[in-house]
Structure 1
Amino acid sequence: MSMPRASLLFPALTLALLLAATDGSAQSPSRDVKLAGMGIRKCTEWQQWKDARNTESRAMVLEWAQGFIAGHNIYARSGSTTTSPVVASVAVLIPLLDAYCQKNPEQRIFSGVVEITQSLGGAKVNITPKATPPRAPQPEQKGRLDS
């Protein structure tokens, strides 16, 4: 029994689209990271919230941290090296983040969570900001009126 031509065409087109969509990104994935949320706050704030018993702000940071760790686990699986997923309960995160922020009050909470994640067996992540490449001089535009 032969399959109709249309039923063979759909899987072939799907495969072609998937290959085309992953062609460039599979070879050189972009790993630039943009951050927002509680992780960009400084450790001094984390310590102030502890001293003021501001459990709401600290809870928001811990939720952010656990979300970051979940994202880290997904990111780590997409690379070529295999790392174990990191699972950190609030009971684990609080003393580790307290210790990090006490030693590094001017650092961002994000940096502490990255260090904690790596200390728990997570993938090594380079968080050093990239320097912006110098722009090439632009040629003068002829015919432009200067006023």
Structure 2
Amino acid sequence: LLIFAKIWNMLDDPAFIPLHIPRVVIVDEVWLYTSVPPAASFLESVARMGRKRNVAFILNTQRVMDVLERSGGRALLENCATKILLRQDEAAAGVVGEAFALSEAEKDAVLSFGQGQGLLIAENVHVPVNFLATKEENAIFTTKPSEITTK
């Protein structure tokens, strides 16, 4: 929480970063923070107040169900204007389908997405997407041990 508070104080200080300059806050593995009520509450506040301060808030989790199962996590996701769903497991399909108002076809799709396939949700529009990395991007960003080469 101390780190979050420090980051927010910097973002909220126009002398540190002028308001006209867009800022991005990325929270990886957000499920960890939604399991701690004070952290979840803080993140929700930042998500709400950040829009007025030119802050884009990016949340990442591998299992969205872990976030949805927590009351603070659900509220946090509801404050995200754009969501990207990648493949979900069978156990998550019902919860995710209900939370994001997915059609039956979309629920089936999120169960069978391949690598790079997803569903972009913005407002009430749901669009299938395919993320393709170039060879150069893959070499930089891969997390697969078999693809990592030493330099």
The answer to which structure, 1 or 2, has the higher relative contact order (CA under 8 A, 6+ apart) is 1
Structure with the largest fraction of strand: 2
Given the two structures, how large is their TM-score scaled by the length of structure 2?
A: 0.29
Flag the structure with larger Rg: 1
Q: TM-score, normalization: structure 1?
A: 0.30
